[in-house]
Amino acid sequence: MKYNAPLRARIREIAMTRVRYGFWRIYVLLRREGKRRGVFKSTMAVSLSPKLSTNGPMTTG
């Protein structure tokens, strides 16, 4: 299944303006706009998860 390019662009736009929003908040916003199908797969394609920093010391335990 191809991902919806306009939906991906809208997800990216929401993620940039509302940095702390995760999948569920973005999903609710898109649902209010009338977009329901393919949100999860498009969100995973955009990969909104924050990147972990490797500059700090690693902790164990």
Contact 60, 28 (CB under 8 A): no
pLDDT at 35: 80
Predicted confidence at residue 38, as pLDDT, reads 77
What pLDDT does residue 18 have? 83
Q: What per-residue confidence (pLDDT) applies to 6?
A: 84
pLDDT tens digits in sequence order for the chain, 61 residues long: 465 888 888 888 888 888 888 888 888 888 898 887 777 777 777 776 555 555 666 666 5
Residue 1: its pLDDT value, please? 46
Do residues 38 and 7 lie in contact, with contact meaning Cβ atoms separated by under 8 Å? yes
Residue 7 near residue 43 (C-beta atoms within 8 A): no
Q: Is the pTM for the entire model greater than 0.75?
A: no
Cα–Cα nearest to 25, from 48, 56, 52, 1: 48
